[in-house]
Structure 1
């Protein structure tokens, strides 16, 4: 399959590219390479995939695998995204690009609306116009908010997000559901639970804790330490995504939850 993956300079995107290539797919990756965290880490991930010296709007074929092409693009640039779909044919889109970080959203809500909502709708519109029938996207466990029912279930009500980040992810799920039923696009939302592993984001707890320990600094905790969290290893995440990419979808309007589906 020809698969478009967004956010391929990011943590999950970096590993997914390799998993899809190993499975025999052709991958076109895009990323805006924003400055939410050190771009050197993002460039290191790209380099590990054979992509060096990216510049905006320039396609680069991997020096390690010619089935991987990368272009530095911003999802919020609707014209550029529509042009990409006009010049390339994609069998499946995996949207991992997003403005991440729950606490950051309290100070910069506009960044989340632009990337997570406007960028998301640009992709859905492009899928609609070019008849791309499979759209997989990253949602988040944050949509569950203060839900007290544990373990969380896909059937739980998630109408009360407690952060702007979570609100944008819930918005994505609603838009995906609408496009699925209006235009027959199979949309699959994945509510990730704090993914960790090598090359991970430096703003996540494992990296923050390890860095504090290494430098003999105080580990900052929240809510007086009265909290717990599920973590998911990166290899498990990308294995699941690859299986969803590779498994043919069955569009049945009579089955609840399809063609729009949510998974934890």
Structure 2
């Protein structure tokens, strides 16, 4: 199949692109390589994809285009010049706390950019659009585990609000234009080539460098940490499962529309998470315990029964194993980068 992956220089997009190429698909990756975090890592991912393609003779299967999805004309050109069997939309302005200080970045990327992707899919009658939502949409929900049947009307960050908006926008396009859309609510994804703004990355860096780490809520927050390989397995599994046209619960509206949680279904404490890093690094952390941050939630916990029923999704990576893989990559990457 011919597949468009937006955000291909990002963490999840990079790993997904590799997996799709291995499976024999043709991939067009697009990304704007913005400076939300160190662009050298994004360029390094692109270089790794090029090396990977050369080593495995995938050069004819992969193309990369530098483009900002907020640019409607540029996105239209992508769809006018390529035919896609599937579109996997991962490009977005990420980060809960960053949205407090930089709201415009989220409007441009997560709202304007998403409309541009929806329009491209509509014009081309794409057979299936898969897009990234987030566990952040659950806000301060007190019922756990989080289920896609739960109400998500009270976001506590602009980032979460934009992701909920994406789900609503996708439903409108599914209903109006019979565009099959599947939204995936990601739960705290981690692993090699990950994002430097994520806690596991910054904790690892600081522990190695004997720097103090800020531990919010005294380490008692619970997170459904999900290893990247498990996430990719879930995305790949859903590619050929476009939702059928159906009536929405409590409504006469019909849409080929689906939302899934994609997480580990095994939340752990931040304390255990830190201990896993300490073990992998071989050094104890210097901790500065602090209260909860604005925009944070005490627990994330994914009910993944629907995705398991649909594609047999069953994460298998324990936190200690996944963190060890990350730390091994991090040490190798930083050593190479510092040469």
TM-score, normalization: structure 2? 0.72
Per the alignment, residue 125 of structure 1 pairs with 119
Q: 1:165 aligns with which of 154, 159, 162?
A: 159
- Given that 1:30 and 1:72 are in contact with CA atoms closer than 8 Å, whether structure 2 keeps it comes out as yes
Partners of 1:16 and 1:95 lie apart in 2 by 11
- Given that 2:7 and 2:89 are in contact with CA atoms closer than 8 Å, whether structure 1 keeps it comes out as yes
Partners of 1:250 and 1:261 lie apart in 2 by 6
| TM-superposition CA deviations, 1:195-227 (whole Å, max 9, x none) | 000111011111111111101111112234342
Per the alignment, residue 46 of structure 1 pairs with 46
2:235 equivalent to 1:251: no
| TM-superposition CA deviations, 1:125-174 (whole Å, max 9, x none) | 11111111311000000000000111100101001000000000000000
Query: RMSD of the alignment, in Å?
Result: 1.6
| TM-superposition CA deviations, 1:223-254 (whole Å, max 9, x none) | 34342211000000011111111x24352234
> Greater CA deviation, 207-216 or 110-119?
207-216
2:79 equivalent to 1:82: no
Partners of 1:199 and 1:138 lie apart in 2 by 18
2:142 equivalent to 1:148: yes
Structure 2, unpaired ranges of 5+: 262-339
Q: 2:132 aligns with which of 111, 123, 138?
A: 138
Per the alignment, residue 237 of structure 1 pairs with 231
Per the alignment, residue 211 of structure 1 pairs with 205
Per the alignment, residue 2 of structure 2 pairs with 2
> Greater CA deviation, 105-114 or 128-137?
128-137
Per the alignment, residue 24 of structure 2 pairs with 24
State the SS of the aligned residue for 1:69: strand
- Given that 1:102 and 1:166 are in contact with CA atoms closer than 8 Å, whether structure 2 keeps it comes out as yes
- Given that 2:8 and 2:17 are in contact with CA atoms closer than 8 Å, whether structure 1 keeps it comes out as yes
- Given that 1:92 and 1:135 are in contact with CA atoms closer than 8 Å, whether structure 2 keeps it comes out as yes
Partners of 2:122 and 2:162 lie apart in 1 by 21
Partners of 2:69 and 2:4 lie apart in 1 by 12
> Displacement of 1:89 after TM fit?
0.3
Stretches of 4+ aligned residues off by more than 6 angstroms: none
Per the alignment, residue 261 of structure 1 pairs with 258
Across the two proteins, how many residue pairs are aligned to each other?
A: 254
Partners of 1:224 and 1:233 lie apart in 2 by 24
| TM-superposition CA deviations, 1:14-44 (whole Å, max 9, x none) | 0000111111111000000000000110011
Taking a change above 3 Å as real, the CA distance of residues 161 and 255 of structure 1, as seen in their structure-2 partners, is: closer
Partners of 1:248 and 1:101 lie apart in 2 by 29
State the SS of the aligned residue for 2:222: coil
- Given that 2:131 and 2:184 are in contact with CA atoms closer than 8 Å, whether structure 1 keeps it comes out as yes
- Given that 1:176 and 1:187 are in contact with CA atoms closer than 8 Å, whether structure 2 keeps it comes out as yes
